[in-house]
């Protein structure tokens, strides 16, 4: 499945997102990665499979000063 972008850009949908195409109007959530071979849209969990990138988690806690 390919997703067209303006102006005339196409991203390949790979991994988990490509296993089951979304229904019309259904929200699609993923990460768009531009590489040497073009753009690819994938689930964040698929980053290590298709790229050398890794996901991380940032936690932030706001503390009220005394």
> 24-41: per-residue pLDDT in tens?
888 888 999 998 888 999
Query: Of 3, 9, 12, which Cα lies nearest the Cα of 46?
Result: 12
Widest pairwise Cα distance in the chain: 55
pLDDT at 66: 66
What pLDDT does residue 10 have? Answer: 85
The Cα–Cα gap between 36 and 49 comes to: 16
Q: For residues 24 and 27, what is the distance between their CA atoms, to the nearest angstrom?
A: 9
**CA 14, 12, 28, 19 torsion-angle sign:** negative
Q: Report d(CA 17, CA 27) in Å as an integer.
A: 12
The reported pTM is 0.67
């Amino acid at each position: 499945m390919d997703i067209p972008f303006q102006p005339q850009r196409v991203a390949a949908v790979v991994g988990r997102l490509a296993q089951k195409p979304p229904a019309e109007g259904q929200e699609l959530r993923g990460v768009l990665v531009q590489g040497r071979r073009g753009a690819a849209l994938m689930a964040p969990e698929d980053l290590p499979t298709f790229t050398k990138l890794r996901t991380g988690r940032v936690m932030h806690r706001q503390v009220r000063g005394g």
